[in-house]
Amino acid sequence: MTLIGTRLNTVLVVLVGLSVVGTAGATVYYESSVEDVSGREQTLRTENERLEQRLATTRAQLNRTEAKLQRINDSLTTRQTDIRNLTTRLNETETELKRTKDALSQARTRISDLRTERNTLSEQVSSLRDENQDLQDDVERLESRNENLDERNEELLDENSALETAVNRQERLLNEKNETISGLENENDDQRMDIRTLCRNENVTDSDVCREYGYD
């Protein structure tokens, strides 16, 4: 609209100039200028319509842009809220991660301690196995010795049984001999008594037999 006003002012100035030059020339110039102005006005109207269309298009684009900007702002607000929530969750996650790392460190320390304890126990187990093997060897030696002793004991028992049998046999023989000796002694005593009786009764004290037995 400002452009149209400027053009009209120019036309008026031209008309004033023409009026000074002369009516006839001014009329011809005026008619030419009017046609020119009409053409220019039509051009300006067309351009104005085009500009208005562009303005409408621009306003529509602006409205769409503003709506889009509003959506972006809303989205940004939502995103900011999400970011705050994510930040809170991130802080919580970092706190949990720190606790997890601490727990992991403690677990690793515990694992190291357990490995050390396991190695110590393994050494003790190895030592006990060696000791157990030594004890088993000792047991085997003792069992072998015990078997030998059992065999020797059996031999001694057999020898003892044989000796007891021999002793019993000797005792029986000794008893038999003692009985024989006792019988012979009794028989000898009886014979002495008989001889003594004969020497006394028969008055044969001068006999060699009586003198031998002390009856002279």
- Is-contact 207 199, C-beta < 8 A? yes
Nearest-5° Cα angle at 132, 129 to 138 = 145
pLDDT digits (tens, 9 = 90+) for 63-91: 888 888 788 788 778 877 877 887 888 88
Distance CA 186, CA 20 (A): 217
pLDDT digits (tens, 9 = 90+) for 139-183: 888 888 888 888 888 888 888 888 888 888 888 888 888 888 888
Residue ranges covered by each domain of the chain: 2-96
**How many Cα atoms sit within 13 Å of 123 on the Cβ side?**
5
pLDDT digits (tens, 9 = 90+) for 42-51: 887 888 788 8
